[in-house]
Amino acid sequence: MAAIRPSAETPAERVADAQALPPRIVFGRPALGQEEIDEVVDALRSGWIGTGPRVRAFEKMFADYVGARHAVALNSCTAGLHLALLTLDLAPDDEVIVPAMTFAATASAVIHAHGRPVLADVRRDTMCLDPTAAAAQVTPRTRALVAVHFAGRPCELDRLEEIRLGRGLRLLEDCAHAVESTVDGRHCGTFGDFASFSFHATKNVTTGDGGMLVTDDEDAAEAILRLAQHGLSNDAWSRTANGGPGAYDVAVPGFKYRMTDIQAAIGIHQLARVEHNLPQREQIHRWYDEAFADLPVVLVPAAAPGARHARHLYTLLLDLEHLDVDRDAVRRELSDEGIGTGVHYRAIHLEPFLRDRFGYARGDFPAAEWISDRTLSLPLSPGLSSGDVRRVVRAVRLVLRRHTR
Ligand SMILES: *Cc1c(COP(=O)(O)O)cnc(C)c1O
């Protein structure tokens, strides 16, 4: 271990100091290869680091991979959710149904698009939107449903489709966990009107941060692209590629939401490896399931027949009735053992930004709360060695055994 210098001076020294920590198994460690490093270096040396040819290539690859007609690379999944919802032209009282168990951004995007997020409970076993609960929240003001393929497990898309068709609603898929997810061979993200994918640092495909909006609707894709580049009709790369200083017009006030070529340089090689990585994620899942079967935990069941789970998260659900500590104490003790974990998520109706504004309270969404109190995500990355997995297993067994009652 490098000694920590009294004062780090250069950037390299600062990084070295930050790394001079006890060896830990980090939650969500990305699996980056030499190809990503070389491509980033090539992008840096190319003289074009903004949105350009590598972004174009990544969009094409991504659209082909999931089987969508259009893909727009963005700087986050949240940006994609925001822009997709903006194309719906929501009036202030228009409602969008969002699961109570998801990341905050799924609901924030609705608020930023001027709508009202109306939460619905999830199923305990799948952690995905419960179609019965969603149908019960539909009112004459409902405009759309957001399906989150939680942890990578496809939602019950056929049942959501019935709700939506009967009432003329739009379907937005939050595919942040679901790059590899399929139903009967068809990729999640191609069932709804739009889907937004995340390439945040811990996601199965990462670009550091980034996102991809996919849709088959050409007009929507064009509108979203324009909104993502300041409302400009034409980006800098196409103006340059078309032989010089081309013109653009600004028809709408836009946002700065595009991906850069530095990010796309990473994404191209991440995506190329995603199918190769999935069996490793599945293997780690199986090892964990086997190793924890006799502990006071609830193991999450397999995906439905015909559905492929992307294995983004391994969520351990603590059987609190047979433990003498809560989830946060288990997390702390695992951290003391050098194991980083995550919580996906605290039920969002209990977060102040929704609770205080829309009057939600504990008891409103029992399944989301049940998960929220018990869930703990363990490291799951193709970058983990079998030794790393054994360390996680040993630590989880040690901590849970210590507290079994
Ligand atoms: C990560 C995540 C997001 C946000 O993705 P960003 O790329 O960070 O904007 C949205 N929804 C879910 C379910 C997520 O896990």
**Which token pair is 373?**
């109190």
The whole-number average pLDDT for the span 20-48 is 91
**Which token pair is 290?**
């086997």
Residue 20 has pLDDT above 50, yes or no: yes
pLDDT confidence bin for 155, thresholds 50/70/90: very high
- The reply to whether omega before 248 is within 30° of 0 (cis) is no
What CA–CA distance (Å, rounded) separates 71 from 175?
13
pLDDT, residue 244, reads 67
Residue 300 has pLDDT above 90, yes or no: no
256 in active site? no
Choosing from 29, 123, 170, 203, the catalytic residue is 203
> Ligand 1: which of 200, 206, 207, 266 to mutate, judged by most atoms within 8 Å of the beta carbon?
200
CA distances from 73 to 37, 57, 195, 259, 357 (A): 20, 10, 12, 6, 32
Distance 174 CA to ligand 1 centre (A): 8
Please state the pTM of the whole predicted model.
Answer: 0.93
The whole-number average pLDDT for the span 257-283 is 98
pLDDT tens per residue across span 47-91: 999 999 999 999 999 999 999 999 999 999 999 999 999 999 999
pLDDT confidence bin for 17, thresholds 50/70/90: low
Query: Please, what's the b/e burial string for 8-41 (b: 16 or more CB within 10 A of its CB; e: otherwise)?
Result: eeeeeeeeeeeeeeeeebbbbbbbbeeebeebbe
pLDDT tens per residue across span 339-372: 999 999 999 999 999 999 999 999 999 999 999 9
Residue 2 has pLDDT above 60, yes or no: no
What CA–CA distance (Å, rounded) separates 327 from 339?
14
Query: What are the two backbone dihedrals, phi and then psi, of residue 221, each rounded to the nearest 5 degrees?
Result: -60, -40
CB 317 within 8 A of CB 371: yes
CA distances from 6 to 3, 14, 15, 20, 299 (A): 9, 11, 14, 13, 47
What CA–CA distance (Å, rounded) separates 215 from 233?
19
Residues with beta carbon inside 6 Å of ligand 1?
A: 76-78, 102-103, 105-106, 148, 174, 176-177, 198, 200, 211
pLDDT confidence bin for 19, thresholds 50/70/90: low
What CA–CA distance (Å, rounded) separates 238 from 221?
17
pLDDT tens per residue across span 213-226: 999 999 999 999 99
pLDDT tens per residue across span 95-145: 999 999 999 999 999 999 999 999 999 999 999 999 999 999 999 999 999
Distance 254 CA to ligand 1 centre (A): 21
SS3 label, residue 309: coil
CB 86 within 8 A of CB 113: yes
pLDDT confidence bin for 285, thresholds 50/70/90: very high
pLDDT, residue 1, reads 39
What CA–CA distance (Å, rounded) separates 403 from 395?
13
Residue 8 has pLDDT above 70, yes or no: no
**Which token pair is 259?**
């991906």
Question: Which residue, 34, 17, 18, 37, is CA-closest to 26?
Answer: 18
Q: Whose CA is nearest to atom 15 of ligand 1?
A: 176
